[in-house]
Chain A
Amino acid sequence: MSRLVDVMRAARSALLAAVVLSAGGGLVHAQEAAVVHITVKNHRFQPSEPHAPANRPITIRVRNLDSAPIEFESVSLRVEKVVAPGSEGVINVRALSPGRYNFFDDFHQETQGTLVVQ
């Protein structure tokens, strides 16, 4: 039975560690975010290569000027957001290392862009 307690204790410790690590991520988010504005018109991102500072959280504001909904999505940013026609979607992204992070519209996959983090 004491072995069972050991296993349960190990599971609890792992869960606690993950929560603490996750909270660490949350603390990074508590820094002031850099804001990036992107519009979508005629199924094109404008700008298609927005820039953002490295090691700071980023808020991406996506305004959809088309008549169809879009889904802003990025595997490397690990975000997705549906933005209705004529409205604005707000996407919060963790602090990023310098690099290029591709994004696209999942509903119109030819609509692509890259966030350049420097």
Chain B
Amino acid sequence: MRNMCARKKALACAGGLAMSAGILLSAARAWAEDAGAYREIETKYIFGFTEGSGIGLEGEKEFSPETVINFGKRDGRYAVSETKLEYEFTPNQYIQIELGPLVSYYDIRNVTGLDDMNAVRFSGFFGELRYLLIDRTSTSPFSVTLSVEPEWHAFEETSGARVVNYGLEAKVNADLELVKNRLYLGANLLYEPETTRADLGVWQQESTLGQSIALAYRIHPQVTIGAEAWYLRHYEGLWFNTFTGDAVYVGPTLYVQLTTKMFMTAAWNTQIAGHETGDPGPLDLTDFSRHRAKVKVAVEF
């Protein structure tokens, strides 16, 4: 009786194993069939605010308006957007160049420390140079690009006040392909010194230091979703002279390849932690906003 029981258990066990093996085998086959539909992807825009290392294809030209909207301060109503009307091209297999004008929209009411404003402004120009430092290959999934982005603003980004502002956003954009053509890890390091002359004619310096980490997964050959986290620190002075506050943002990301020559990307970040020097409250809503969103549509030609 005991032998029969053991035999039944062994048979059940073998059946279970065979069924599991069958399921795994069919899953593996489906994965392999699936893998053929997922070709290599440009990683630059799949991580939201975090930029991937991609620099495009040699000779590729793109027009891509990109809007970043900052929402929410400590009080009142605050929504300020900046749109880059961006022309992007890749002159060779190492470098990518972007440039274009900046247009801002300010909707500010009853925010402490800021004047009320409802206006659209042509606010400046930017340029960006990206250099591919470490190339991804089929045997090395890691890739790194360095970027510098000089900017000139005629209106202050937060308040809309008339100023002369020069900034230089320097970034290290790195990404790692965790699962071939499917799962990617991205990270950025950011340093952005700025100098601003306001009404009184005095130049004031500030700088922002940041780092991010992001994960992006392709749920469909044309659709990538993910999440990212940013840690930002703000200082008075160009070289981190006086710390004024910091913020942690997290949020989801989306990338959709609309046609072979067109894509859109979107991201939403919410400040979940932070601290402002001299303010006992949570978050830093003077140097940063409560939420920020990014939307970009690109057309290659």
Contact = CB atoms under 8 A, between A and B. Distances in A.
A75 B54 CA distance: 9
A76 B90 contact: no
Contacts of B238: 3, 6-7
A7 B131 contact: no
Interface stretch (A32-40, A43-51, A61-69, A91-99): A91-99
A97 to B, nearest CB: 5
Given A25-B92, A78-B55, A4 B135 contact: no
Contacts of B90: 78
Interface in B153-186: 166-168, 170
A94 B168 contact: no
A80 B59 contact: yes
A102 B40 contact: yes
A99 B137 contact: yes
Task: Report whether over half of chain B's contact residues are helix, strand or loop; otherwise say mixed.
Answer: loop
B260 interface: yes
Given A7-B195, A14-B148, A76-B136, A93 B93 contact: yes
B139 A97 contact: yes
A30 interface: no
Contacts of A10: 168, 193
Interface residues of A, number: 36
Nearest to B166: A7
B97 to A, nearest CB: 9
Contacts of A74: 40, 57
Interface of B: 39-42, 54-60, 90, 92-95, 129, 131, 135-140, 146, 148, 150, 166-168, 170, 193-195, 203, 205, 238, 260
22 contacts: A3-B203, A4-B195, A6-B238, A7-B166, A7-B168, A7-B193, A15-B148, A18-B146, A73-B57, A75-B57, A76-B40, A78-B56, A79-B59, A93-B93, A94-B93, A94-B94, A99-B138, A100-B138, A101-B138, A102-B39, A104-B39, A109-B260
